[in-house]
C-alpha cells in the first residue's frame, strides 16, 4: 500500500527510536549495570547518593534528600509526565516510538505479503483490493523473509536487554570473539526463543492484553473524554458503502476505528486507519480524523457530531 507523508514520518520516528533503544547501552545513555549495582545515565553514575550516610559522613536528613532528588522525583516525575502525555494523546508512545510495536508492524506486513493475513490468527485473508486501488496477490516466498525478520529481531531484543544489565563492551566483545559466558549464552538463547515465539504467535495480542506500559496509557487515556482520538464523520457514513473496510484492514491492532472510544481501548494512535481512508477517498477528504476537546465527545458518547468536524484540515 502507498504510504502517505504522515506514515513515512511515523516510520522514521520508529526507526530512530529502535536505533536509540539498541544503542543506548553501548553509548552509556541509559542502562542498569548489575556489576556496579547502579544506573548509568549519560555516562554518569546514577546512584541514590547514600554512600556518605552508610560511611557515617552524612546525616539521615541529607540521605533522605538525596533519595528524594535522585530516586522518587525522577521515577514518579517521569511516570507522571508519561501518563500525562497518554491522558492527552492516548498510546502515542506505542504507535510512534515503541520498539516492540515496530517489530509487530514489520512482521505483520511480511506475513500479510506471504499469506494475505497479518497474523496467524486472522480468520480469513484481507481483501486483495487495496485502499489505493491496487490489487495485491500474496507471495509465499515472503514466509522466508518473515522467518528471518522474527529471528533477527528476537536476537536483537535479547542482546539489547542483556546490554541494559551488563557492561555492553563486555557483552559485544564476548559475542564477537565467541567467548560468551554460560550465563550470557543462556540469557541470549532463552531470550531469543521466547521473543521468537512472541513475535510469531502473539505480537499485537501481547500489545492488547499483556503489555503493562500500554495498559496504563490506555487507562489514562480513557479517563479523559476530551483526549485525542480517531473520529468518524458519521454524517458521511453512506460513503463507506463502496469501501471494503479499508480502515479496519489497515489497523495493526485489529480494531474497528469507526466505533466508540471504549471499543478502541488499545488504539495506538498510529493513524493507519486515517491514512487508509484518505487513500481510498483520493481527492475527497477522508471520513476518519484525529479529534480532541469537544470534538472528541461524540466518539465517547456516540451521540451527535460536531460541526467543526467538517472544517478540519487533513494534514497528511
pLDDT at 85: 98
Distance CA 258, CA 179 (A): 54
Of the chain, the percentage scoring pLDDT greater than 90 comes to: 76
25 three-class SS: coil
What is the DSSP-derived secondary structure letter of residue 277?
H
pLDDT band at 315 (very low <50, low <70, confident <90, very high): very low
Residue 307 is predicted with a pLDDT of 52
User: Grid coordinates representing 136?
Assistant: 495485491
Grid cell listed for 52 = 556518605
- As beta bridge partners, residue 135 has 129
Flag whether pLDDT at 32 surpasses 90: yes
Q: What are phi and psi for residue 230, nearest 5 degrees?
A: -75, 120
Cell of 40: 548509568
Q: What is the pLDDT of residues 35-87, one digit of tens each?
A: 888 899 999 999 888 777 777 777 788 888 888 988 899 999 999 999 999 99
Which is nearest to 157 in space by CA: 111, 100, 95?
100
pLDDT of 312 over the 60 cut: no
Alpha-carbon distance of 43 to 313, in angstroms, equals 44
The pLDDT of 137-159, averaged and rounded, is 97
Min mean pLDDT across 15-24, 59-68, 299-308 is at: 299-308
Alpha-carbon dihedral sign for residues 14, 19, 20, 24: positive
257 phi, psi to nearest 5 deg: -65, -20
SS3 label, residue 143: helix
Cβ pair 114, 138 in contact under 8 A: yes
> Strands 38-41 and 288-291: what pairing?
unpaired
pTM above 0.85, yes or no: yes
Helix (H, G, I), strand (E, B) or coil at 203: coil
Name which of 153-162, 211-220, 296-305 the model is least confident about. 296-305
- The count of other CB atoms within 10 Å of the CB of residue 124 is 7
Question: What's the pLDDT tens digit per position in 252-294?
Answer: 999 999 999 999 999 999 999 999 999 988 767 889 999 999 9
Distance (Å, whole) CA 119 – CA 117: 5
Query: Residue 192 pLDDT > 60, yes or no?
Result: yes
Amino acid at each position: 500500500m502507498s504510504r502517505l507523508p504522515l506514515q513515512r514520518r511515523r516510520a522514521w520516528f520508529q526507526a530512530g527510536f529502535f536505533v536509540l533503544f539498541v544503542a543506548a547501552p553501548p553509548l552509556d545513555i541509559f542502562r542498569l549495570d548489575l556489576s556496579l549495582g547502579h544506573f548509568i545515565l549519560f555516562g554518569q553514575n546514577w546512584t541514590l547518593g547514600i554512600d556518605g550516610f552508610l560511611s557515617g559522613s552524612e546525616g539521615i536528613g541529607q540521605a533522605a534528600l538525596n533519595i528524594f532528588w535522585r530516586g522518587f522525583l525522577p521515577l514518579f516525575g517521569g511516570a507522571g509526565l508519561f501518563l500525562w502525555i497518554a491522558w492527552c494523546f492516548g498510546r502515542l508512545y506505542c504507535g510512534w516510538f515503541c520498539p516492540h510495536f515496530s517489530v509487530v508492524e514489520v512482521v505483520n506486513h511480511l506475513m500479510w505479503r506471504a499469506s494475505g493475513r497479518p497474523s496467524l490468527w486472522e480468520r480469513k485473508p484481507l481483501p486483495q483490493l487495496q485502499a489505493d486501488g491496487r490489487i495485491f496477490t500474496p507471495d509465499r516466498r515472503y514466509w522466508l523473509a518473515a522467518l528471518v525478520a522474527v529471528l533477527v529481531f528476537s536476537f536483537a531484543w535479547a542482546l539489547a536487554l542483556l546490554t541494559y544489565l551488563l557492561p555492553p563492551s563486555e557483552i559485544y566483545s564476548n559475542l564477537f570473539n565467541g567467548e560468551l559466558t554460560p550465563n550470557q549464552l543462556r540469557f541470549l538463547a532463552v531470550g531469543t526463543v521466547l521473543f521468537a515465539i512472541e513475535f510469531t504467535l502473539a505480537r499485537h495480542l501481547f500489545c492488547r492484553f499483556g503489555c503493562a506500559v500500554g495498559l496504563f496509557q490506555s487507562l489514562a487515556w480513557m479517563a479523559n473524554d476530551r483526549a485525542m482520538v480517531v473520529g468518524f464523520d458519521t454524517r458521511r457514513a453512506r460513503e463507506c458503502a463502496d469501501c471494503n473496510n479499508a480502515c479496519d484492514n489497515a489497523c495493526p491492532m485489529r480494531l474497528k476505528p469507526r466505533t466508540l472510544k471504549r471499543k478502541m481501548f488499545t488504539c495506538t494512535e498510529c493513524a493507519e486507519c486515517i491514512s487508509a481512508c484518505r487513500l481510498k477517498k483520493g481527492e475527497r477528504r477522508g471520513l476518519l480524523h484525529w479529534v480532541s476537546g469537544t470534538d472528541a465527545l461524540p466518539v465517547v458518547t456516540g451521540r451527535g457530531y460536531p460541526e467543526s468536524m467538517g472544517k478540519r484540515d487533513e494534514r497528511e
